[in-house]
Structure 1
């Protein structure tokens, strides 16, 4: 009996200890989660302070831009909400009453790379601006730097642009100087504001590719901040545990076809554009059904991507990866090869069409009609995890054109069958 009581006490003690440890772990995780939430999550107070800080700089004559007046004087831009921005650029959602002529209000996004105090400023204090000629020399120096920014982005000759500063700013640079009361100060303020924009990858790429429909429209700028059209993120089309399947197959299949066309377009820009951070939240959808690229901070033209691989030492393939752009490690030389082993289409299938669980798709092409379920699953597996005869073991491969063609045909057929 004594032994039995001892065993019961021992079991009870162990149980209480385990419960205590479990509670401690849960509490620790909750506290850590709360810490991360507070650390990463934006707040309305801070976001409004960003706008006020920008307007303070504008009122002090330190920044300028085509939308500064609407943001800070007429107050045609109204703050709505924000997204997490602690580790990346600031992203604020607003409505704009004057961005589109004839439209009462339109939803827009204000973006800015860093804190205002850390913005890239043009340091050309060594140049005197006390004469008109010296001011012209200053502007020529700025033109040279801005052209170099475009060259670095795409290695593209920008000499065809007679007025590179106005093209890059989206506002008439020289007209601004001409209409300023203090031209000497205006040269510095305009140049600094433009420079803080061209040092941001996404802004520069949006200006460079402005005539492509997949690039969100830039409505204007103010200092280092720029305002673009707001398009619905495809993250809204992902499966969520308590929402079930809110979007029809026909709707999702149509979007998938548009995404495939977009990916093909990116191969025909003179130089391939590689999307190295592919996820639903980085694609947008306009009201007319057009798809857009919401975030291009990790998009790189081919030459720049290869240079990224060129400067990387390695012992395994993962060492050569630049986010979703997979590289290949030559284990003999310990150097990354100058090529991407997968492609945009493979990443699109893996991260958008299939989703997080390959064996049970939760992505855009989840829950297809029963008639195509088996064939679709097979094609998605071939696309997201291609099996290609090669000596390159453990390296992610390109999605093959024939697989993509079959996938397009299957999606199109499924849409027609449901019509």
Structure 2
């Protein structure tokens, strides 16, 4: 082979190596930005700075909400500590109020960069700002419910009760409208606002600016599931929750991040789902799946809501391949990752029967391509599980 040919191939190799190096640097830089933005430990100093800025906005009538007063003026709402909330600011607060005998423990949250998104979407120079705002708000509300209608500002104020109405404030005030739309962009806030009844999620207590405040659920499953009787009690509550997801709302509700850390018990021993952002109504979930390109079925997953890939079109099919029940059996009852499993070590008197039905639960096919009622197969599994769990067994310490 001529030396010029060797030189040509050598230069091509060098060019490819340089490209790979540049790509590696870009990937590394992108990962560093993600780590620094979302995974850096929270700081009390930064948290207090954020609250201070929020209170300045509240005092200057740029931030509104029913909890701005106790947070920023009477100071009944005090900062305790913060935690790393990924893409959210998460502050734990103590509220010394006249409603509860002891200070209420609240969680104060905001999805980061919400204000920048709102500022980019809505320019104050637009003459039709209010109409554009109401149109967008209707879209956001309709993602979570079909029973609410917003036709004007009066409807808006009745729905968004955490935004305290100021009689001297014109509702066309841009800052006021940005407060509302900033809250509406946050799916956890919207779910708690629109579905306050049902006891599946922490209760919403109020808002200030684009921050919202919710009930703090102090206990995780691992804190209370000590004896077999307590494990059975929690398991039955989880099964009831699964059934509630099927028929308590205008359409099926999917839990797409099922794991032990995402469930807790409140002071009244009610089981609460803590990761509200992982909830998807059926139509929204299948729409999200069908928008995705894929080469494999795993490309169609939304956390642990599994999908199927159409290999011909390389688009995800508009369906979920597993179910809430299947995920609860697999991830919580049997256990996954570092969690041992709520029902993984039963007494010998029920062990064989329980393991058999849990195996059936996990391997069952639960394709959900329409918003249908609970399948007879799922109902049978739930009834069998409850029957086995309610058998008289001796308490055991794990």
TM-score greater than 0.5 by the shorter chain: yes
Map 1:325-336 to 2 at 5 A.
325-336=305-316
- Return closer, same or farther for 1:257/1:296 CA change in 2, 3 Å cut-off: same
More displaced stretch, 290-299 vs 259-268: 290-299
CA contact (8 A) 1:54 1:116 kept: no
- What's the CA shift for 1:414? 4.2
- What's the CA shift for 1:327? 0.5
- What's the CA shift for 1:302? 0.6
Matched, 1:148 2:139: yes
* Structural RMSD (CA): 3.2
- Which residue in the other structure is 2:5 paired with? none
CA displacement 1:120-155 (0-9 Å, x = unmatched): 346241346xxxxxxxx865654333222111334x
- Which residue in the other structure is 2:344 paired with? 366
CA contact (8 A) 2:322 2:366 kept: no
Q: Which runs of 4+ in 1 moved over 6 A?
A: 35-38
CA distance in 1, matches of 2:71, 2:173: 22
CA displacement 1:263-307 (0-9 Å, x = unmatched): 111111120111111112222211222112222212111111111
CA contact (8 A) 1:354 1:364 kept: yes
- Which residue in the other structure is 1:262 paired with? 241
Q: Any unmatched runs of 5+ in structure 1?
A: 1-31, 129-136, 239-245, 390-396
CA contact (8 A) 1:147 1:164 kept: no
- Which residue in the other structure is 1:252 paired with? 231
**Structure-1-length-normalised TM-score:** 0.75
- Which residue in the other structure is 2:371 paired with? none
- Which residue in the other structure is 1:288 paired with? 268
**Structure-2-length-normalised TM-score:** 0.79
* SS at structure 1 position matched to 2:92: strand
- Return closer, same or farther for 1:384/1:234 CA change in 2, 3 Å cut-off: farther
CA contact (8 A) 2:68 2:207 kept: yes
CA distance in 1, matches of 2:285, 2:353: 34
* SS at structure 1 position matched to 2:50: helix
- Which residue in the other structure is 2:287 paired with? 307
More displaced stretch, 201-210 vs 160-169: 160-169
- Return closer, same or farther for 1:332/1:372 CA change in 2, 3 Å cut-off: same
User: Greater CA radius of gyration, 1 or 2?
Assistant: 1
Map 1:59-138 to 2 at 5 A.
59-85=59-85, 87-98=86-97, 101-115=99-113, 118=116, 120-121=118-119, 123-127=122-126
- What's the CA shift for 1:95? 1.0
CA distance in 1, matches of 2:112, 2:37: 20
Q: How many equivalent pairs are there?
A: 353
* SS at structure 2 position matched to 1:111: strand
CA distance in 2, matches of 1:117, 1:160: 23
Q: Any unmatched runs of 5+ in structure 2?
A: 1-31, 368-374
Matched, 1:169 2:160: yes
CA displacement 1:68-102 (0-9 Å, x = unmatched): 111111111122222212x321111111112x624
CA displacement 1:37-65 (0-9 Å, x = unmatched): 99532232222222222223223332111
More displaced stretch, 255-264 vs 401-410: 401-410
- What's the CA shift for 1:193? 0.9
* SS at structure 1 position matched to 2:359: helix
